[in-house]
Amino acid sequence: MVNFIGQYDCKADTKGRIMLPVALKNQMAPVLNDGFVIKRSVFRSCLELYPMQEWNTLMQKMNKKNRFKKKNDDFIRRFSAGVKMVEIDGTGRLLIPKNLIEVAGIAKEVVLTSAINIIEIWDKDSYEKVLEETAEGFAELAEEVMGEDGDDTDDVS
């Protein structure tokens, strides 16, 4: 499992190619040859870039869902809509498919940001707006999400 670190400002060219910053490309080195999957985010207007190993782990979990339950079938269909396999080319560029550029509203300025084991790809203005919107109340959210670990160890500070 790769844990990505950092936020990177980039530019997308007219064909939807993004030159990956060297620091991010270096972090991707262990998984670069396996390829990636890119998809729309469930909750926000951004894209998610999964290393193939992470995608396969997620698909194993999804494959356990009973497809004869309508809500599962509907979820799987929507979740996988627009999913594409992508690679980083020899010069370190990522080509984002046109339909996904439109979904994420990506213009020219792009933010690539780590989300633990995946990379989120945002239009810069959208990303800054979401950060602003979620700033208020973040302390309470952090306490709610991370505050109830159930054990006495102090692994996260």
Domain residue spans of the chain: 7-145
Where do runs of H (alpha helix) occur along 38-156? 52-63, 70-79, 98-104, 124-135, 138-146
**Widest Cα–Cα separation across the chain:** 52
| Residue 116: band (very low, low, confident or very high) from pLDDT cuts 50, 70, 90 | very high
Question: Average model confidence (pLDDT) for the chain?
Answer: 92
DSSP state string for 31-61: GGGG-EEEEE-SSSSSEEEEEHHHHHHHHHH
pLDDT of 9 over the 90 cut = yes
What is the rounded average pLDDT of the residues 102-107? 93
The alpha-carbon radius of gyration of the chain (Å, integer) is 17
| Residue 28: band (very low, low, confident or very high) from pLDDT cuts 50, 70, 90 | very high
> Residue 141's pLDDT is what?
87
pLDDT of 54 over the 70 cut = yes
User: How far apart are the C-alpha atoms of 27 and 25, rounded to whole Å?
Assistant: 5
What's the pLDDT tens digit per position in 73-89? Answer: 999 999 999 899 999 99
Read off the pTM. 0.88
* Cα torsion angle, 61, 63, 69, 75, sign: positive
What is the rounded average pLDDT of the residues 9-25? 95
Domain 7-145 falls under CATH 3.20.20.150: no
